């Protein structure tokens, strides 16, 4: 879930609970000046709530389809809640608002009003708690992600070090191969020289033998 959306959601839940309390208290105020002040505060709060709803809508629509569908469903509930708050504000600002409020209190009783407000506050409090839990889970996931990233960086560093070691070993082996090739060339040259020297010695021995035979033949013939 989007942390940005959760931040807007938490702000809206707190603002909605605050507006609900102000609407309830404004309906009981008899002094017109105090009532106008409360109504001004409620109007400003409703404007802020409208801004938060629009921000949540934009954020939800920018996410992946599966997350987007879930957040838009929650957003519909918040829009319905905001509509009810606006209706309550409109009722408070109507010309007969004071008289209507007194009649409503006489008909429904103060107990029902307090119960409804308490129920709404409880629902909003539960929403805030769920948001806090989600934020904790996101922070935990973020911490796990950072640990995984650090582990990945460590593994990459180890692999890089091993690669450098292998490259150095390859260079040393290549040097050994060059030395072996040079040794082979030297041995081949020496072998050729030995063979050539053998032929020279053999030729000399043959020449000496031939000379000896000639000399002996010459002496014997005389």
**119/116 Cα distance (integer angstroms):** 5
Estimate the crossing angle of helix 32-61 against helix 65-93, to 10 degrees.
170
Angstrom distances, CA of residue 25 to CA of 57, 128, 150, 191: 30, 23, 54, 114
Taking the CB of residue 135, how many other CB atoms lie within 10 A of it? 15
Q: What is the pTM of this model?
A: 0.44
Q: What is the mean pLDDT of residues 202-222?
A: 87
CA angle 14, 19, 23 (to 5 degrees): 155
What helix, strand, coil percent values describe the chain, rounded to 5?
95, 0, 5
The C-alpha atoms of residue 168 and residue 204 are separated, in whole angstroms, by 54
Q: pLDDT, tens digit, for every residue of 124-183?
A: 767 777 777 777 777 776 788 788 888 888 888 888 888 888 888 788 888 787 878 887
Residues 100-139: tens digit of each pLDDT: 455 545 544 544 454 455 566 667 767 777 777 777 777 7
CB 63 within 8 A of CB 71: yes
């Amino acid at each position: 879930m989007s942390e940005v959306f959760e931040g807007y959601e938490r702000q809206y839940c707190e603002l909605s609970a605050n507006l609900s309390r102000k609407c309830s208290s404004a309906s009981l105020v008899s002094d017109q000046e105090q009532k106008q002040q409360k109504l001004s505060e409620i109007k400003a709060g409703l404007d802020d709530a409208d801004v938060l709803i629009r921000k949540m809508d934009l954020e939800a629509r920018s996410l992946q389809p599966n997350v987007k569908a879930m957040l838009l469903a929650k957003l519909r509930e918040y829009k319905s809640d905001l509509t009810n708050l606006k209706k309550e504000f409109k009722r408070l600002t109507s010309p007969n608002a004071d008289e209507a409020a007194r009649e409503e209190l006489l008909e429904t009783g103060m107990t029902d009003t307090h119960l409804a407000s308490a129920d709404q506050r409880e629902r909003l409090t539960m929403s805030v708690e769920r948001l806090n839990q989600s934020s904790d889970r996101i922070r935990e996931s973020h911490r796990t992600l950072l640990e995984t990233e650090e582990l990945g960086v460590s593994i990459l560093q180890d692999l890089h070090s091993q690669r450098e070691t292998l490259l150095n070993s390859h260079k040393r082996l290549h040097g050994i191969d060059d030395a072996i090739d040079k040794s082979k060339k030297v041995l081949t040259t020496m072998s050729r020289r030995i063979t050539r020297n053998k032929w020279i010695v053999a030729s000399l021995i043959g020449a000496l033998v031939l000379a000896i035979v000639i000399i002996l033949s010459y002496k014997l013939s005389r």
